[in-house]
Chain A
Amino acid sequence: MYKYDTYDQAMVDTRVEEFRDQVRRRLEGHITEDQFKPLRLMNGLYLQLHAYMLRVAIPYGTLSGAQMRMLGDIADKYDRGYGHFTTRQNIQYNWIKLEEAADILADLASVEMHAIQTSGNCIRNTSSDQYAGAAADEVVDPRPYAELIRQWSTFHPEFSFLPRKFKMAVIASDIDRAAIKLHDIGVQIVRNDAGEIGAAFYVGGGMGRTPMIAPCINPFVPIDQFITYAEACLRVYNRHGRRDNKYKARIKILVHELGKEEYTRQVEAEFAHLLTQNIEPPLAELERIKAMFADPAFEAGLSDELDRSDPDFALWVDNNCVAHKQPGYIAATISLKPVGGIPGDATGEQMRLMADLAARYSFDELRVTHAQNIVLPHVKKADLYALWQALDANGLGTANLDLVGDIIACPGLDYCSLANARSIPVAQKISQRLSAKSQEIGELKLKISGCINACGHHHAGHIGILGVDRKGVENYQLLLGGSEAADTSLGTITGPGFDEDGIVDAVEKATQVYLANRSDNERFLDTYRRIGMAPFKEALYG
């Protein structure tokens, strides 16, 4: 894992004091709320429905046991005993006091964490593959490249007042577990035929009210030029992205309006200029970072055998664990989606338990996934049963990864001031209704957003649900056929929306249509793609 040096530590420590000073100036009336708002947002502090909310960055989703323990302690000390893991691998606290915010940041800084640029019209926390460093299919570990982006983007002087927010994701395998084509910039680290490492740039994807899949604008940027290339992408956007309409201000609109070719031409021209400016960190810096992401001390020669005699354990292994690059190890997902629970929520106590289990069983490392779960990336198979027993005893052993109960849901109108409808109660009801059939249904990615901003990724769900406000009443639209994996696609709305109970019925009917029509080992998504919308419409509205 990355360790701060004195430079990195000074940066976050200074940020704590800067924010403390900004809060003081607001409380003393030196700056207005209009002036303060972008400052607090650039430090992840929102004013939500019930209180201030603090979004803490978990860079590329990786954290240590000590960091997870601190997140749990903050939940208990400053909040109401829990936190919410988000689709961008961050954690949010819902009941924060402005007057305590700087103290929380100081606690975070003590474990090399921060809330820098977790909101605002700037480059946000970079997300990545939750199995980075463990996945059997990766070209390299993508996290050193994400860390390079973290440092480059932190307080970037030119890009702190962009037209709109800017989200980046980095992966290094062909299986996309970070939805890179739905980001402002998605980077895939690749190896070319000559064996050299480079970065493929996908620019202009996103969800929100105008979902777009990012086109690839350059399939191979040499790795010793990739920060410069990102700088060129951003500069063209900062200069020419729309500022007349916030709903058209994301880079996806610029790329769409200019066209991929013209945008790419402008980026390449800016890139050629910026190459003369010596802004690229030397490869030695990448090597310094990479050394900190070296494999932990895996034991060699371990057996891949597992005792599967406990059927509940075997089910959990089959659902929640994925192959590891190292023989004898496995990556295990802790589901934060208990049946009928609140997706992504964890108590302070659960966070500390996960921290302890990471220390004992996973080389002190955890990951947050964009599906709002937690991963222990490096578990020895010989320890897996003991790990599962500890999880199961604490309500963290739900065996439902990528099944219908593993629902992504934004906080919705229960917490969020932008929401039009509640997301969580819908997720809870669907989970209760369908979890018993989840093994039969198989892989089904269900995603719920409480407004068009799409924090719940509803466009990219095999089944997506969008909450809208219809004359003051919550109403839910159903979408089918989205995906955020390597086969990225956007869902299609089925037709008129439903009320809260109606949407639960509608989801159940959609699964029935699938079960009646599936052939062989088709997933819900495959069947939908094969048979199309008509049979689903017939069942829903016929």
Chain B
Amino acid sequence: MKILTGNDLKTGAVTWWDGVQWSLHVEDAVDVGDHADTILVRELAARRVNAAYAIDAVKDESGVRPGHIKERIRALGPTVRPDLTLKPADPTAGDWVI
């Protein structure tokens, strides 16, 4: 699947396109099929997101998994600071990025 990610313009937070708006959670990301460019142009112009781009991902039993480690780290947070990730209570969350 193709999903879209970027950063919130004002806060810089990592966001994912959920079909309607930008979510903080990669699990919400939807397959944009062939519409990546259309959505990106519109959303960037509206300044609802910054530096957004399309990536490959797969959907498995654990949810949406970006194809590259870089986006998996973006989705979770820094692996060396589990307390600052989106899953601070899960000590094994870092395993998901590798």
A residues engaging B (CB < 8 A)? 26-27, 29, 33, 47, 49-52, 80, 94-99, 342, 413-415, 417, 419, 422, 424-425, 428, 472-474
Contacts and interface: CB of A to CB of B under 8 A. Distances in A.
A74 to B, nearest CB: 16
10 contacts: A27-B47, A33-B44, A33-B50, A47-B12, A50-B12, A50-B78, A51-B7, A51-B11, A80-B84, A472-B67
Top 7 A-B pairs, shortest CB-CB distance: A51-B12, A52-B12, A414-B78, A424-B80, A97-B11, A99-B10, A49-B74
Contacts of A473: 69
Majority DSSP secondary structure for residues of A touching B: mixed
B79 interface: yes
Nearest to A99: B10
Given A414-B80, A415-B78, A428-B80, A47 B47 contact: no
B73 interface: yes
Interface in B60-81: 67-70, 73-74, 77-81
Name the residue in B51, B68, B70 with the highest tally of chain A Cβ atoms < 10 Å from its Cβ.
Answer: B70
Nearest to A94: B78
A472 B74 contact: no
A47 B77 contact: no
B45 to A, nearest CB: 8
Contact of B9 (A27, A414, A417): A27
Nearest to A342: B80
Contacts of A425: 79-80
Nearest to A28: B47
B70 A49 contact: yes
Determine chain B's interface SS by DSSP, over half rule.
loop
B80 A98 contact: no
A349 to B, nearest CB: 15
A47 B78 CA distance: 15
A280 B70 CA distance: 48
Contacts of B80: 342, 414, 422, 424-425, 428
B58 to A, nearest CB: 13
A29 B12 contact: no
B13 A51 contact: yes
A99 B11 contact: yes
A414 B79 contact: yes
Contacts of A422: 73, 79-80
B73 to A, nearest CB: 6
B57 interface: no
B10 A98 contact: yes
A97 to B, nearest CB: 5
Contacts of A96: 12
B40 interface: no
B4 interface: no
Nearest to A53: B12
Given A50-B12, A422-B80, 4 more contacts: A29-B47, A97-B10, A424-B80, A472-B68
B73 A97 contact: no
Contact of B69 (A27, A95, A474): A474
